[in-house]
Amino acid sequence: MKINVIGAGIGGLSAALSLLAAGFDVRVYERATALSEVGAGIQLSPNATRVLHGLGLEKELALTAVKPLAFHQRRWDDGRTLQRAPLGEPVEARFGFPYYHMHRADLLAVLAGALPAERLHFGHRLTGITDRGDRVSAHFAGHADADADVLIGADGIHSPVRAALFGPEEPRFTGCVAYRGLVPADRVRHLPLEVTVDAWLGPGRHFVHYFVSGGRVLNFVAVIEQDAWTHESWTDRGDPADALAAFDGWHPQVREILRAVDETFVWALFDRAPLHRWSRGRVTLLGDACHAMLPFMAQGAAQAIEDGATLAACLAGAGADPAGALRRYETRRLGRTARLQAMSAANKTRFHLPDGPDQRDRDAGLAAGATGWSFDAIAWLYEHQAG
């Protein structure tokens, strides 16, 4: 079976590797002329690393990945611990695979390096698709059509494949904007930083930081609530002074990290309502193209990686009915991804509670391990075996 994947992000590349491992003839088409990623970190939980290790990428990932010791939720002003959930060796012992922090560019390099170069085509901007019943054609600006038995849209929140299947629909602004940046670790050596993921929760905003790139760089994301935004982009430059002003009065450690950065990028957070279906005929979607979610469960990339593994398993048993396999794939994935979309959206409210009774109830729940990232609360997510 020949399969074309539109989009060479984390979801598209990992899906291509899962499909290639299952024996399919896979090609990936990317509109950009080269792989690139503006500085940003990513969290990979055991449900994702289980898939990536299964693809034989364990050694390559370990070269730049950081294993955090804990997930540490803290109060915004005094730094008081609200919850500290172990990661590192305890999470690996419990769930069988590690929890990693990585730079997105490092992960993309590992995925692309594992895919034979002749299967990855840059500079291909999709202009349309045609499902002919027995095959599906992808049309590109300035390039010949590419025919296949199945086409997969892994082309992000503004997916042209999704628009071709179900019509145009604008993603919805969630009322949050994120400043993100990278700080050389040497600049923050004077701070008492552990190898953890720290999430500082406060009224109307929160701040997350963790090490990436083998511990050489500190990644941060500073999320604030904002009334309006006109477009979604990963690459709009922000002013570090604006981010610092937004966290006026916060704990000195938060403000010292913000003072240490040279440049920030401002990222408006968009999502979409869950779809009732992802597939039509020989075409389907994965990742942000079908279940874009807020990053407040750190599961966007992980769910795209799960998508690819599940899709490969379903197609492996397709026989002469690839359309039926795509329906089975979406059936297996719809409920799980919709649940995580809803949980991610709920965390926006939970993370940003103003000081008061609701905030005190949240903090009591965190201390009791009843919510958030305790092992018992998160087992359903981390134990999952995609397929």
pLDDT for 326-385, tens place per residue? 999 999 999 999 999 999 999 999 999 999 999 999 999 888 875 555 677 789 999 999
Lowest mean pLDDT: which of 36-50, 93-107, 135-149, 316-330?
36-50
Question: In the CATH scheme, what architecture does the domain 2-170+272-382 have?
Answer: 3-Layer(bba) Sandwich (3.50)
- Check pLDDT > 90 for residue 39: no
**Confidence at residue 172, expressed as pLDDT on a 0 to 100 scale:** 84
User: What is the C-alpha separation between 141 and 26, in angstroms, rounded?
Assistant: 21
- Cα–Cα distance, 105 to 139 (Å, whole number): 28
> Mean per-residue pLDDT for 227-250?
77
Q: How far apart are CA 255 and CA 240, in angstroms?
A: 11
What is the average pLDDT across 99-115?
96
Q: Is the pLDDT of residue 193 over 80?
A: yes
| pLDDT value at residue 19 | 98
**Residue 226 confidence class, pLDDT cut points 50, 70, 90:** confident
CA distance 17 to 3: 12
For residues 265 and 132, the answer to whether their CB atoms sit within 8 Å is no
Kindly give the interhelix angle for 322-351 and 300-316, rounded to the nearest 10 degrees: 160
Kindly indicate the confidence band of residue 230, based on its pLDDT and cuts at 50, 70 and 90.
Answer: low
Q: Give the per-residue pLDDT at 162.
A: 96
* 231 or 84: which leads in pLDDT: 84
Cα–Cα separations (whole angstroms), residue 377 to 43, 83, 137, 176, 295: 18, 13, 44, 26, 18
Q: How far apart are CA 13 and CA 122, in angstroms?
A: 13
- pLDDT score recorded for residue 234: 44
pLDDT, averaged across the chain: 93
Q: Of 157, 123, 120, 165, which Cα lies nearest the Cα of 141?
A: 123
pLDDT at 282 over 50: yes
- Token look-up 């940046």 returns 181
User: d(Cα 116, Cα 121) in Å, to the nearest integer?
Assistant: 11
Mean pLDDT of 90-96: 95
Residue 4 dihedral angles phi and psi, to the nearest 5° = -105, 135
When mean pLDDT is compared across 130-139, 190-199, 238-247, 306-315, the lowest value belongs to: 238-247
Model confidence at 27: pLDDT above 90: yes
Could you give the percent of the chain with pLDDT greater than 70? 95
Over residues 27-48, mean pLDDT: 90
Distance CA 258, CA 238 (A): 12
Mean pLDDT to the nearest integer, 236-264: 92
Angle at the Cα of 288 (from 254 to 159), degrees rounded to 5? 125
Q: Full-prediction pTM beyond 0.85?
A: yes
What region, left, alpha or beta, does residue 226 occupy, with left being phi > 0 and alpha being psi -120 to 50 degrees? beta
Asked whether 212 and 102 are in contact (CB, 8 A), the reply is yes
Range with lowest mean pLDDT among 60-74, 249-263, 303-317, 356-370: 356-370
Given the residues 99, 179, 210, 382, select the one marked as catalytic. Answer: 210
User: Is 210 annotated as catalytic?
Assistant: yes
